[in-house]
Structure 1
Amino acid sequence: MHKHFFTTVFLLCFAFLAVAQQPDTLKKANADTVIKKVDTVRKSSFAPKIKKDKVYHPDSTHSPSLAVKRSLIIPGWGQYYNRGIWYLKVPAIYIGLGFLAKAIIDNQKQYKIFLNLARITNTGGVPTKGQPLYDTYIKYQREYNLYVVNYGASYTDLANASDGYQRNFQISILSVLVVWGVQTVEAYIDAKFINSFTVDNNLSFKVTPTFMNQPVYASNFNSTFIPGLKFTFTL
């Protein structure tokens, strides 16, 4: 009887101790889990972020010298080689050259007319058949009647007019050379940017709300900050 009693008491005490120790074990396990989570959060929050290397795409095959050579041979060829907005550049080049070509032709024509009229007027009268300037007079008879007979232009007036048209003719030729050179330089610079500079594929754009300090003239007593938007560009 006593043996059964002590045995029962011993088993109850053992069971009580086992039940009493279980919460401590659970608490310890939970505490270890929390500590691990906190460490993980700390490591993930404060660990330095590893930045990805930027990837560039240089166009090393694009040759600025080739663009220059093509522009020197044919205006606009270098712009077409560079692509970009060549469909706007090339027409603009040829429109400008077209106007200058027309100016060259017109000024050269007027220069010859007034030069010959000045030569005819310098003889002192209308040349007759057999005289050196008779053929020239027949060729420019309409212009002679218009400027000399109708308007009374003198030799000095005609000579000054011929000099003016000659000057405009030379300026027009110089302008063609300038346009040709400018479009060559433009083709070189454009090709140089394509060849030497690269494009980063890690571009990003971020918009975040923020607060800004109010200007002094716009401040009030309710708040010293005003809401705003922050734009961040990553290149």
Structure 2
Amino acid sequence: MYKFLLITGFVMVFTFVARAQGIDTSAARKADTVKKASNTAPGSFAPPIRKEKAYHPDSLHSPHKAVMHSLMIPGWGQIYNHQWWKVPIIYGGIGLLFSAVIFNQNYYNQFVTLSRYRQRGVAPTPGQPYYNEYILYQQNGVPDQNIYDSVDAYRRNRDLSIMGIAVAWGIQTIDAYIDAKFKHSFTVDNNLSMKVTPGMIGQPLYAQSANSSFIPSVKITFTF
């Protein structure tokens, strides 16, 4: 009987010790908690610690290639930089300048021919260039000096339009270089965030009232 009680007590003690030496999952749960909270600063109400923004410039993007493309064909550098929306603007501006060149050149040719008729004192015959215009100006009594001034004005406007084309060509080349340089050296992405916070700003001395020298405001911060 005593032997049976001794064995039973030994078994009970062994079972209790075995349970006490079981795996303590509280430590694992605590580790998980610490791991989940690792992105927060110390303190019970601390905000999450944000990761630093990673910059990934495109080192294979060549500013030289963008410049050469734009010098050869307007807008080609913008296409190389993946900025397709600039191409219609470039061709719209250059197209208007080309139309101005054609417009002024046509009237320049007309008034140059009329000025030569006036200088020679010879009226054109039907079928010759600008015969109808010569007769119209002659009937309305347009003086010779007006014809000569028109020649100078249309020639000047034509030359300015040609210079405008050259300037526009150069501007779009510079634009392609700058965009390609940023793509090559800096991150150019669409990660834009906006933060709106309320605040107070002080009024100027002449605008301060007796009630308060501060007025409510809203601060908008863009991060990109």
Using the size of structure 2 for normalisation, the TM-score is 0.62
Match of 2:111 in 1: 114
Aligned residues: 177
Match of 1:62 in 2: 61
Q: Deviations over 1:61-107 (max 9, x none)?
A: 111111111111111111111114x22x1111111111111111111
Partner amino acid, structure 2, of 1:80: I
Would you say the 8 A contact 2:192–2:223 is kept in 1?
yes
Q: Deviations over 1:176-206 (max 9, x none)?
A: 0011011111111111111111369998877
Q: Deviations over 1:109-137 (max 9, x none)?
A: 1111111111111222425xxxxxx69x7
1:232 CA drift (Å): 8.3
Bigger fraction of residues in helix: 1
Match of 1:97 in 2: 94
Would you say the 8 A contact 1:55–1:202 is kept in 2?
no
1:169 CA drift (Å): 0.7
Structure 1 spans left out of the alignment, 5+ residues: 1-39, 128-133, 221-226
Partner amino acid, structure 1, of 2:89: A
Match of 1:145 in 2: 135
Aligned equivalent of 1:155, options 139, 144, 162: 144
Residues 1-235 of structure 1 correspond to what in structure 2 (within 5 A)? 45=43, 54-84=53-83, 86-87=84-85, 89-126=86-123, 138-147=128-137, 149-198=138-187
1:150 CA drift (Å): 2.4
Partner amino acid, structure 1, of 2:99: K
Change in CA separation of 1:218 and 1:158 when aligned onto 2, cut-off 3 Å = same
Would you say the 8 A contact 2:182–2:188 is kept in 1?
no
Task: Name the SS of the counterpart of 1:139 in structure 2.
Answer: coil
Q: Percent identity, please.
A: 49
Following TM superposition, where does structure 1 have runs of at least 4 consecutive aligned residues deviating by more than 4 angstroms? 49-54, 199-208, 210-220, 227-235
